[in-house]
Amino acid sequence: MRTLTTLLFLPFATLAPAAEDLLGQGEFRYQVVPDWGREALAKVNVKNGHAVVIDSKGRLLFLTDDARNNVVILDAESGALITHLTARMPGAHGMSLVHEADGSEVLFITDTQLHQVRKLTLDGKELAVYPWPAEAKLHAKEAEYRPSKTIHFKDSSFAVFDGYGKDYIFHYNPDGSLLRTWGGDLGEEKDRLKHWGPHGGALDDRDGTPRVVIAMSDQQEIRRFSVDGHFIDQMPFPGGNPRDIIPFGTFTIIPHLGDQWPKVKESPGFISIVDAQWKIVSNIGAPPAEYQNGGLQPMQSDRQTFIHPHGVCADAAGNLFVAQFASPAAPLLKLNRVK
């Protein structure tokens, strides 16, 4: 078992957990699968890992910002390469897998460099492009709009988070026309979203009431809003940097790009699993969460498991797949759940 003292002297890009290391706590414990997908990724050009989803066929779709290979499709069990495709998106950042009314599956991918969102079939055919919302008159120029993530509603409408731009949430009708805008500097004080704020999130209707849940990255907190943008509550995650919200049964997975980010950008990050009350039940790649008088105490990674976990998804067995940013040595990891 490696110690923290030893790890502090290792080159950052080489940090990786030992195969025998048991990560997490309670019923959510994991082991990294050594070299999973490494041979497949050696066959394609990959820059930064950004997002991962699993389609109805059980295939893993891995989003990168290398425009030659924006979507790399792997066998989720073996890690073997199935195919790869380009969306011609050099700033690909967020990816949502959406089930259409006709039963088909499509991808919505945001691009922070092209300042747009694209809708694609799973084999890469472009179905629609959603440009910067000039009609909202909230950006002086296209370059100010830098979308980070989309979330999708049961009525086929969808919202785009301007997470690297001006922190607005743009809610679109199914036909792509703008329905409403909130967040940013709009509305009452608690309805506003600070910069850098809405990086990722999800629509959460698991208790019967739909809410927009936002990972407020550099603000080190999670915020919940009504679907029309009114503040409900917030949950602090001190020491973390929540990048996305992934519903996981009655639990939720939250990847933290780094601990103490952005103050300490070389910090490697970790993953939290929280229960229905948003209390951490397992920290993967970090010590157990500590609560004092009901308040979560500052967290810190173990500095050996991850290198900037940016996106996460889980398969039916609860195994995790992790896309990592700025991690040329390990842009994609698989963690098997230990039961």
Confidence grade of residue 19 (pLDDT, cut at 50, 70, 90): low
**Token reading at 24:** 């997490």
Amino acid at 205: D
**230, two tokens:** 């009114």
Type and span of the H or E element at 6: helix 4-7
pLDDT given at position 16: 52
Dist. CA 47–CA 155, nearest whole Å: 35
Find out whether 231 and 191 touch, Cβ atoms under 8 Å. Answer: yes
Q: Is the pLDDT of residue 2 over 90?
A: no
pLDDT tens profile 31-88: 999 999 999 999 999 999 999 999 999 999 999 999 999 999 999 999 999 999 999 9
DSSP codes of every residue in 65-85: S-TTSSEEEEETTT--EEEEE
Beta-carbon contacts of residue 165 (< 8 Å; ≥ 6 apart)? 139, 144, 145, 146, 147
- In the numeric block, the tokens 């790399």 are attached to 72
Within 13 Å, how many C-alpha atoms sit on residue 336's CB side?
A: 14
Higher pLDDT, 285 or 16: 285
CA distance readout (Å), 138 to 113, 134, 163, 299: 18, 7, 14, 36
Q: Exposed (0-12), middle (13-18) or buried (19+): which is 207, by Cβ within 10 Å?
A: exposed
Count of beta carbons in the 10 Å neighbourhood of residue 248 = 17
Q: Residue 81 corresponds to which amino acid?
A: L
Sorting pLDDT into bands at 50, 70 and 90, what band is 256?
very high
Q: Check residues 14 and 190 and name the one with the higher pLDDT.
A: 190
pLDDT of residue 7: 30
Lowest mean pLDDT, pick from 10-19, 116-125, 215-224, 295-304: 10-19
Residue 260, pLDDT above cutoff 90: no
* Residue 146, token pair as written in the block: 């830098």
Kindly report whether the peptide bond that precedes residue 196 is cis, defined as omega within 30 degrees of 0: yes
Q: Do residues 150 and 117 make contact, with C-beta atoms less than 8 angstroms apart? A: yes
Structure letter (DSSP) for residue 242: B
- Write out pLDDT tens, residues 280-308: 999 999 999 999 999 999 999 999 999 99
pLDDT, one tens digit per residue, over 87-105 is 999 999 999 999 999 999 9
Confidence of residue 1 (pLDDT cuts 50, 70, 90): very low
Map out the domains of the chain with their CATH numbers. Answer: 23-338 (2.120.10.30)
Statement: residue 6 has pLDDT above 70:
no
Q: What is the pTM of this model?
A: 0.93
Return mean pLDDT, the chain: 93
Stretch among 11-15, 74-78, 154-158, 222-226 having the lowest mean pLDDT? 11-15
Pairing verdict, β 49-54 and 59-64: antiparallel
> Contact at 8 Å (CB) between 79 and 121?
no
| Cβ 252 vs Cβ 274: under 8 Å | yes
